[in-house]
Homo-oligomer: A and B are copies of this chain.
């Protein structure tokens, strides 16, 4: 096998640990310098490949690459850009081949979620369909935890830990205030289609916290919800509510789309949390506080799960190793061997079975009344938030996250307009 360069790119919404996968890819490639030349990273994802904006990772020090392991976000930049089918996006795939040829790229590592697994699958077919030899390996990443076959997705465990811990802390707060003040705390979490992140908020129940969860999987029933909250407040004196951004009415309309308009008549893009909080106030007259975690949750490297960081790195490493074994069109996966004690290993899935398949949360993970999580769900979740992996801090008390130099290689081709 002749020595080829590798291309690596980050795709879609970033996470607290996607850079740990980048670190796994680059460090492993560097260890196999006899078989892999340089790793070129796409500046802002696949857009960087199309526009020939390739980061020369050999210009980054070993120390800075190592620091990616504890740095949140996408160190090379990410993008929201989906390639369509080989016929429909032929112009783009042909451009990719030109780029691969010009820079002698034989390995394509794509780090992302469902959409990028599909793109990666198509790139893996270039060899057969457009006659260009490239090995394409997908490195899983998504806070939504919705990729199939793999037990879980890197990025999810850290969000889950952040939401579980933050919900616990805020619940302790409202418990302290409930006698004379705030009795309801609402936290809104990510998850437009799947309630995995919301489920993590449910773990606080094991700390004696009364919690009501609003999942995207369960059609919102205002009457049942208010009755549930009232029962909890009557018993405990307060209640925590975790609402998924994807929570919706039976007609499919999101709770966040309440038809609110501001003083200028513009549609108000509020969150689900204030809607739910005001609903409880109007019906039960209870004082509330609400929070919307948004990016804070998926960027919270300061509270990353150690098992998540370890897996993110291991999957990046495995992607390179499997490429060197000659594999193409696969995604390394996490295989759960046992939950208690937590044991896992690396497996692999064919991209044909990953692309365009969304893994939903099993309904067996949601309690019968639709507002809580089951013991089975907790058994699934706890291992994923196990362990703490703190970043280093400087003397001022700030985390030492790395900003890469991101020096681009010289362009060899004509400009290309991304449409």
| Residues of A near any B CB (own CB < 8 A) | 10, 13-14, 16, 43-45, 47, 71-75, 77-81, 161, 164-166, 168-170, 172-181, 185, 187, 203, 206-208, 258-263, 266, 268-271, 273-275, 277-278, 282, 289-296, 298-303, 305, 307, 382, 385-388, 390, 393, 395-399, 401, 403
Contacts and interface: CB of A to CB of B under 8 A. Distances in A.
A164 B296 CA distance: 12
A173 B390 CA distance: 18
Given A169-B300, A291-B294, A396 B401 contact: no
A47 B269 contact: no
B296 A282 contact: no
A102 B291 CA distance: 43
Given A269-B274, A302-B303, A79 B179 contact: yes
Contacts of A81: 180
A164 to B, nearest CB: 6
Given A262-B258, A268-B268, A302-B303, A385 B403 contact: no
A403 B208 contact: yes
A299 B403 CA distance: 29
Nearest to A268: B260
A412 to B, nearest CB: 22
A180 B390 contact: no
B165 A14 contact: no
* 4 nearest CB pairs, A to B: A73-B172, A74-B176, A169-B299, A44-B179
Given A77-B178, A79-B181, A386-B397, 8 more contacts: A45-B180, A47-B180, A78-B176, A79-B180, A80-B181, A172-B401, A291-B293, A386-B395
Nearest to A81: B180
A376 B396 CA distance: 14
A307 to B, nearest CB: 8
A242 B118 CA distance: 37
Contact of A73 (B175, B180, B298, B300): B175
Contacts of A174: 295
A291 B179 CA distance: 28
Contacts of A10: 176
A298 B174 CA distance: 11
Contacts of A387: 393, 397
B385 A396 contact: yes
Given A260-B261, A270-B268, A291-B296, A13 B177 contact: yes
Given A270-B274, A403-B208, A295 B176 contact: no
A296 B297 CA distance: 11
A81 B177 CA distance: 11
Contacts of A45: 179-180
A185 B295 contact: yes
Contacts of A388: 390, 393, 397
A170 B16 CA distance: 10
Contacts of A302: 165-166, 169, 303
Nearest to A48: B179
A77 to B, nearest CB: 5
Given A268-B260, A390-B390, A207 B398 contact: yes
A238 B403 CA distance: 15
